[in-house]
Structure 1
Amino acid sequence: MGSFSIWHWLIVLAIVVMIFGTKKLKNIGTDLGSAVKGFKDGMKDGNAEDAAKPAPTSQQVAHNSAAKEGQTIDVQAKEKP
């Protein structure tokens, strides 16, 4: 019962084709493919933007290293208007 044989999958596929029709399944496949392509392109653009960001300044690097060492850093807080 845990795994299905090839015949089970062929029967399921035949039922799905009879219910939805080949045209509808083709449209669903096309939509899914374009969504995956758009997602991949978006991920590439996001990685390109991350690479284009400038390196952190020395002050930011010093702040991060001091925080990792457990030291206290004094910061001037400003109130919101």
Structure 2
Amino acid sequence: MAPGMWQILLVLLLAVLLFGGRGKIASVMGDFAKGITSFRKGLRDEENTEETSNDASGSLGAETRDDEKTGS
């Protein structure tokens, strides 16, 4: 079975990416690492925002629940 055109193009693309120039791999992996880091930072920021909003609404919700228990 001979390799098809898409398979040859994929191999050529990988070869250019890996051996195409000085520091190509390092720059690609650095960009990949920066993307992961910013993604994790975004998740952390989102969790912190949710926790602060839950703390504010949670304290009000606890008072309401206590009032309901004593009133019943």
| TM-score normalised to structure 1 length | 0.47
Distance, in Å, in 2 between the alignment partners of 1:37 and 1:6 is 34
Work out the number of aligned pairs and report it. Answer: 52
Question: Which residue is equivalent to 1:34?
Answer: 37
Question: Which residue is equivalent to 1:14?
Answer: 15
Distance, in Å, in 1 between the alignment partners of 2:47 and 2:7 is 37
Question: Structure 2: where are the runs of 5+ without partners?
Answer: 1-5, 62-72
Distance, in Å, in 2 between the alignment partners of 1:29 and 1:41 is 19
Distance, in Å, in 2 between the alignment partners of 1:38 and 1:6 is 37
Instruction: State the Cα RMSD in Å.
Output: 2.5
Task: Among all aligned residue pairs of Structure 1 and Structure 2, give the percentage whose two residues are the same amino acid.
Answer: 4
Tell me if 1:43 matches 2:71. no
| TM-score normalised to structure 2 length | 0.52
Question: Following TM superposition, by how much is the alpha carbon of 1:9 offset from its aligned partner in structure 2, in angstroms?
Answer: 4.0
Tell me if 1:24 matches 2:18. no
Question: Structure 1: where are the runs of 5+ without partners?
Answer: 57-81
Structure with the higher fraction of residues in helix conformation? 2
